[in-house]
Chain A
Amino acid sequence: MTKNDQTQSSGGDVRLTGISKTYGSFTAVHPLDLTVPAGSFFALLGASGCGKTTTLRMIAGLEDPTTGTVELSGQDVTALPPYKRQVNTVFQNYALFPHLDIYENVAFGLRRRGIKSVKKQVEEMLDLVQLGPMARRKPQQLSGGQQQRVAVARALINHPQVLLLDEPLGALDLKLRRQMQLELKRIQTEVGITFVHVTHDQEEAMTMADTVAVMNGGRVEQLGAPADLYENPATTFVANFLGTSNLIEAEVVEAAGEELLLRAADTKLRLPAARCSATAGSGDKVLAGIRPEKMALAHTDDTGSLPDGHNQLPGRIKDASFIGVSTQYVIEAPGLGEISVYEQNIARDGRLVPGAEVVVHWNPAHTFGLDAAQDIAAGADLDEEAA
C-alpha cells in the first residue's frame, strides 16, 4: 500500500468496472467498463463535456466515483486518496508550483515520499526533457512548451504505474503540439509506463495512441486501434468525429450472399455484408458510409472507362478547393445532398471545375454500413470546433 516500494518503470494496467459519476441530476459518466493494458498508450477522445476528464480524474483519485471500482495492477484503489495511488497526472495548463523553481518542482514527488538524495534523479530527468540549464528558473520564466516538459518530468520522475495526461498539449500552438506529440510518444516507448491520454483532438489521439476510446455523452461509443476506428466506425458519431465521412441514406434491395445491394435515390450501390454493423434485411434502411479520400471523380464523358464493379454516383461539382496535397471537391448529387471527395493532386483533369457534370466512383469494399436509426450528423459539428 505504501508508494515507496516502487517498481522500476514497468507500467500497470487500469481496470474500471461499472464506474460512473453523477453530479446531482447530471450524469457526467454513465456506468463504464474499461481496461487499459499495461504499457499501452491509451487515448480517451471526445468533445468537451463528454466525461473523458471526469473518467481520468476518477483514475487519479481526484474525483470519487458514484458507483464502480478502479483497479491498478489488480489492486482495488477506489477508496485510496490521490496521494496513495501510484499514478501521476500531467494537468491541463500544467499546474506547476509558482513558488518553486524547476528543480524543486521536479523533485516534489520524490521529496514527499521521503527520498533524501534526489539530485541525480532530478538532473537525469531534466536532461531527458532537455531542460538541464533551466533548473533554477521559476515556471513563469519558461515558455509554454518548456512548462509542458517540466510537467511531464515532474510526473515521470516518480515512475508511476500509470501516467495520466489531461489535454497536455491544449495550450500549445500547432507546430509545437506536433513536435510534443512525437516527443511524448518517444518518452512513452522509452519508459514503458502506461499512458492514459485525454484529448479532444482526433488527430492527436490517432497519432499517439495504440488504443482509442471515443466518448460521447458520458459513454464510450467505440474502442479500438486508430486505423480500425477510422476504417470501421460503428456509429455515425465516430464516423463524423474521426475525420470526415459521407453518409448516404439507402434502402436494402437484396440481402443475399456476401454483398448487400442498396438503392440510394435511383442509384444502385454495393456494400460488403461483413462491413455493415446494422441488421440489414431486404427493405431495411441503412446508412452507407465512405471516406472522402477513398472516392474518385471522373468526368461524365469518361463514364465508360471506369473500373469494373465500382459504385457510381452521378453529380455536379459545386465547389473545389485546392489545398496543396489534395483538392477537396463538394459534389451535389441529385436526391442525396452533398458529397465530399478528396482527390490527390497527381494528374489533374482540367475539366473538373465547379459546374462540371461528374461521376463519383469507388471500390465497394471501402463502403461501411451503419444503422439508419441514428442522428446522421452526430459528431460532425464537434469535429469542426475541435479542429
Chain B
Amino acid sequence: MAATDTTTAATAPRTGGNPLRWLRRNIVTLAGLATLGYLILPNVVVMVFSFNKPNGRFNYQWQHFSTDAWADPCGVADLCGSLGLSLQIALWATLGATVLGTMISFALARYRFRARAGVNTLIFLPMAMPEVVMAASLATLFLNMGIEFGFWTILIAHIMFCLSFVVTAVKARVMSMDPRLEQAAQDLYASPLQTFLRVTLPIAAPGIASGALLSFALSFDDFIITNFNAGSTVTFPMFVWGSAQRGTPVQINVIGTAMFLVAVLCVLVGQVAGNRRKRSNP
C-alpha cells in the first residue's frame, strides 16, 4: 500500500496537479489505513495459521487448510491446563490489584499524610524499572525468605506490577472529582457508606474499570516476571515459549485467535451499548 502512495506522489507533478490534489485530500485516510494494517497484520497471520495443517512440528509454513486444531483446541498436552492457570491468575491478580490500587488512589488523592510524596513515587517504580531486573530481585527475595515458587509467588508478583497501573488510572479520576458531589449526597441524607456506594464509586468506576482491564491483560500475557518466579508451574505464555523450542502446535494460534476475537467482541458490545444509550437520550 505504501509503495502505491509513493508512486502517486512522484508522478503527480507530471500528470498535472490532479493526483496531487487527490493525495492531499486523502492523505489522512491513507495514513490511517496504513497504520491500521500495521496493527492488524500480525493478528491476521495468527488467525490464518490457526487453519493450517503443518507437515512437521513447526507451524511456520502454510501447507493446506484444515479445521482440525479448532475442533480439538485442547489436543496438545498441558495447553488447556496452562491456559486455565493463566486465566485464574489473571482474575485474582486483577481483583487484588484493583481493590488495593483503588484504596491507594483514594488515600493519595484525598488525604495529606507524612509519607504521601514517597508513596506517590514508589508506586510508579514497577512501571519504571526494567522488568527483568524486577523479576530477578523478586526471585531472590522469595528464595531468601524460603517461599516455594508456584501459584502464590506468581500471584504476588502480578498484583505488585499491576498496582501501579490501577493507581494511575483511578487516581486521575478521583482527583478530577468535584468534592461537592459527596457533600451534596450527605446533604441528601446519604450516610458515609451510602455516599461512597452511590456517588463516589459510580463516578470513579470508569477509572477502576480501565485499571482492571489493563491489569487483566498485563497479567495474562506476562512472561518475564512469571518465568523467574514460577518454579515448576507453567502459565500459558510459558507454555508457548516452552513449546516453541520443540515445535509450535496449531492450537496456540487457535487460543490466540479466540482471545483476540473475544476482546474485539467486548469492544464492539461496549460501543453498541454506548451508542444506544446516547441515542435514547439525545
Contact = CB atoms under 8 A, between A and B. Distances in A.
Contact of A83 (B190, B199, B202, B205): B190
A62 B186 contact: yes
B203 A98 contact: yes
A62 B187 CA distance: 8
Nearest to A85: B187
B178 A95 contact: yes
Contacts of B281: 101, 136-138, 141
A158 B187 CA distance: 11
Contacts, number: 69
B141 interface: no
Nearest to A166: B180
B181 A97 contact: yes
Contacts of B205: 99
B24 to A, nearest CB: 38
B189 interface: yes
Interface in A157-189: 158
A205 B178 CA distance: 27
Interface of B: 178, 180-181, 183-191, 194, 198-199, 202-203, 205, 280-281
Contacts of A97: 181, 184-185, 199, 203
Contact of A112 (B178, B181, B189, B202): B189
Contact of B180 (A61, A93, A109): A93
A143 to B, nearest CB: 15
A158 B205 CA distance: 28
28 contacts: A3-B189, A60-B187, A61-B186, A82-B187, A83-B190, A83-B191, A87-B187, A88-B187, A88-B188, A89-B183, A93-B180, A95-B178, A95-B181, A96-B184, A97-B184, A97-B203, A98-B181, A98-B203, A99-B203, A99-B205, A101-B281, A108-B190, A108-B198, A109-B189, A112-B198, A138-B281, A155-B187, A155-B188
A234 B136 CA distance: 78
B205 to A, nearest CB: 8
A96 B184 CA distance: 8
Interface residues on A, range: 20 to 34
Looking at chain B's contact residues, is the secondary structure mostly helix, strand, loop, or mixed?
Answer: helix
A138 B191 CA distance: 24
Nearest to B194: A112
Contact of B185 (A3, A61, A108, A137): A108
A272 B183 CA distance: 51
A341 to B, nearest CB: 45
A105 to B, nearest CB: 9
Looking at B189, B198, B205, which has the most chain A CB atoms within 10 Å of its CB? B189
B85 to A, nearest CB: 37
A155 B183 CA distance: 13
Contacts of A141: 281
A112 to B, nearest CB: 4
Nearest to B280: A136
Contacts of B181: 95, 97-98
Nearest to A135: B281
Contacts of B188: 83, 88, 108-109, 112, 154-155, 158
A49 interface: no
Nearest to B277: A138
Nearest to B190: A112
A91 B184 contact: yes
Contacts of B184: 89, 91, 95-97
A98 B185 CA distance: 12
Interface string A100-143: 01000000110011000000000000000000000011100100
A89 B281 CA distance: 28
